[in-house]
Structure 1
Amino acid sequence: MHVPKGFAVVTPYIFAEGAEEYVRFLEAAFGAREVGRSTAPNGRIANCQLQFGTTTIMVSEASEQFPASRAALYLYVADAKTTMLTAEQAGAEKIMDVEDMPYGDRQGGVRDPSGNIWWISQRLTADPYF
């Protein structure tokens, strides 16, 4: 089996209304980096690949055939509090304050402008199995 570099066996794919603005939000809020894009004849995003460190997600403009989707995503970062503030400044709505969790993460949550939930987590322990 071949999986393209930067992708995982399972890769999140989000359909968003206003995909161009959503891509800009992901860049501003979480430091995502656009690594590929194809556009439809009308100029809208047909597929945009964004890297978050070692993970890639895909974003497309929602349509009647493919309506806007909602997801919950778990994002590991170096500093959960700083990333939460950056996400809020970029337009996300805080849904949970950053707190230390019993499973070894410092975590908070935001809802992005497209309605997706992002659990922003900073690993506090080296134990990969909690």
Structure 2
Amino acid sequence: MATINIPENYQAVMPYLIVKNAAEFIQFTQTVFGATEQFKTMRDEHTIMHAEININGSTIMFADATDTYQQQNAGMFVYVESCDDTYQKALDNGAESIMPPADQPYGRSAGVKDPFGNTWWITNLL
């Protein structure tokens, strides 16, 4: 198998979401998960053509939904420092509970659906 060169700060596989109101998605991920914005280019003054955030070394790419590119959501699993605190931040910022925090064999975990239609499985190790 050939060796490929992946640009710095990227991974071999990254989710690419198409969301309604991508600017608010950035704010949600910054507030709830401590995301940092890596890149953003606008389609026009109101919609994002392509943007990238980073959550603890993992990149998520996304864009605003359009008539051509319809909304496409994802389910994501994210390790956090505190499942309970992050779960509450998500709810405080418009997410819906899918599963309240509970101890699981793989760690303390909860599930939320963000205001943009994505599911986040929030976990910290016990």
Q: Which moved more, 1:69-78 or 1:39-48?
A: 39-48
2:51 maps to which of 41, 48, 53? 48
Query: Which letter does structure 1 place at the counterpart of 2:119?
Result: I
Query: Which letter does structure 2 place at the counterpart of 1:57?
Result: I
Note if contact 1:29-1:88 (Cα within 8 Å) is conserved in structure 2. no
User: 1-side partners of 2:44 and 2:113: how far apart?
Assistant: 31
How many residue pairs are counted as aligned between the two chains?
123
CA offset at residue 41 of structure 1?
A: 3.5
User: 1-side partners of 2:55 and 2:85: how far apart?
Assistant: 16
1:123 aligns with 2:112: no
1:2 maps to which of 1, 5, 11? 5
2:92 maps to which of 84, 89, 93? 89
5+ residue gaps, structure 2, are: none
Q: What secondary structure, in the 3-state scheme, does the structure 2 residue paired with 1:22 have?
A: helix
CA offset at residue 43 of structure 1?
A: 4.1
User: 1-side partners of 2:98 and 2:44: how far apart?
Assistant: 38
Q: What secondary structure, in the 3-state scheme, does the structure 2 residue paired with 1:35 have?
A: strand
Runs of 4 or more consecutive aligned structure 1 residues displaced over 3 Å after TM superposition: none
5+ residue gaps, structure 1, are: 125-130
1:27 aligns with 2:30: yes
Query: Which letter does structure 1 place at the counterpart of 2:35?
Result: A
1:112 aligns with 2:85: no
Q: CA RMSD in A?
A: 1.1
